[in-house]
Chain A
Amino acid sequence: MKIEHVEGKKAGKLMLYALSTCIWCKKTKQLLTDLGVEYDYTFVDLLQGPEKDETMKIVEKWNPECSFPTLVVNDSQCIVGFKEKEIKEALKL
């Protein structure tokens, strides 16, 4: 899976599954960037073949609706959609 890394202050392990065309995903990504936290992301719509399927299996495990953005926090909590308040709470910011 092609994972991009964004440097920042450590607020836990953050993995964002997003679509490159989705404005709500863009807003979520921007929020993390504005908060200045370290996070990883991947644009699932830019993946191909088995890589895309494998990634979607992971997304489905966290979010059976398979919708975006799906943000996984510390391998234990999943936030679906652009939910500013919930994200800040999960990051204890």
Chain B
Amino acid sequence: MSEENQISQREIGLEYERYKREAESSGYHLNPDVAFTRGLIDGLLVNERRYGYRSCPCRLASGKKDEDLDIICPCDYRDPDVMEYGACYCALYVSQKVLDGTQQLTSIPERRPPPALRKKAAAEPGTAKIGTLPLPVWRCKVCGYLCARDGPPEICPICKAKKERFERFI
């Protein structure tokens, strides 16, 4: 790592606290391994200095923001990975089960499509129509929050209701 991108421990500490607060207040959890998590936050801050945005520390950024939008933290792949593997690709965010120690972390396969497929996907127009939605829509029965993803979130990011309070809406 080049010297000019060295981040101070103080700065990492402050960001760590901020990430933790924001995660917990919206139903996400940071990895409880503090040294590991601080290491990732260091990487995010290095990337911010290097590229101008906090791209994922465990993925190679192109340096062109519009090509890297999907890997700006929290990336597009966080929620499906937390749901399927109990952690995001970097393991900055973990599921409740991992937090409780009832699920072990493993090496997570890359969900981001490889470069050639990404280019192809960007060139294709969206095809979503009512009835042919690419993802189901889930509704929080407590506050009405809607989200389109493979399954409902562990905790509603708006009202903090638990997963079991969600119903399939569309």
Question: Which residue of chain A lies nearest to B35 when distances are taken between CB atoms in the complex?
Answer: A23
Instruction: Please count how many residues in chain B sit with their CB below 8 Å of the partner chain's CB atoms.
Output: 25
Question: Which residue of chain A lies nearest to B45 when distances are taken between CB atoms in the complex?
Answer: A21
Binds B, one of A7-15, A33-41, A62-70: A62-70
Report the separation of the CA atoms of residues A24 and B109 in the bound assembly, to the nearest whole angstrom. 12
Grouping DSSP codes into helix (H, G, I), strand (E, B) and loop, the B interface class, with mixed when no group exceeds half, is loop
Are A68 and B1 CB-contacts (below 8 A) given A23-B40, A23-B43, A83-B107? no
- Across the interface, which residues of B come within 8 angstroms of A43, CB to CB? 1
- Across the interface, which residues of A come within 8 angstroms of B14, CB to CB? none
Contact A65 B114 (CB under 8 A): yes
Instruction: Please count how many residues in chain A sit with their CB below 8 Å of the partner chain's CB atoms.
Output: 22
Taking the complex as formed, is B99 at the interface, i.e. its CB lies under 8 A from any CB of chain A?
Answer: no
Grouping DSSP codes into helix (H, G, I), strand (E, B) and loop, the A interface class, with mixed when no group exceeds half, is loop
Report the separation of the CA atoms of residues A66 and B1 in the bound assembly, to the nearest whole angstrom. 21
Report the separation of the CA atoms of residues A82 and B42 in the bound assembly, to the nearest whole angstrom. 19
- Across the interface, which residues of A come within 8 angstroms of B107, CB to CB? 24, 81-83
Are A23 and B57 CB-contacts (below 8 A) given A65-B114, A66-B115, A67-B110? yes
- Across the interface, which residues of A come within 8 angstroms of B43, CB to CB? 21-23
Question: Which residue of chain A lies nearest to B42 when distances are taken between CB atoms in the complex?
Answer: A21
Q: Using an 8 Å CB-CB cutoff, how does the interface string of A30-63 with B read, 1 for contact, 0 for none? A: 0000000000000111100000000010001000
Chain A residues in contact with chain B, CB under 8 A? Answer: 19-26, 43-46, 56, 60, 64-68, 81-83
Could you name 28 residue pairs across A and B whose Cβ atoms are closer than 8 Å? A19-B57, A19-B58, A20-B46, A21-B42, A21-B46, A22-B43, A22-B59, A23-B36, A23-B39, A23-B43, A23-B58, A24-B91, A43-B1, A44-B60, A45-B60, A56-B60, A65-B109, A65-B110, A65-B112, A65-B114, A66-B114, A66-B115, A67-B59, A68-B58, A68-B59, A81-B107, A81-B109, A83-B107
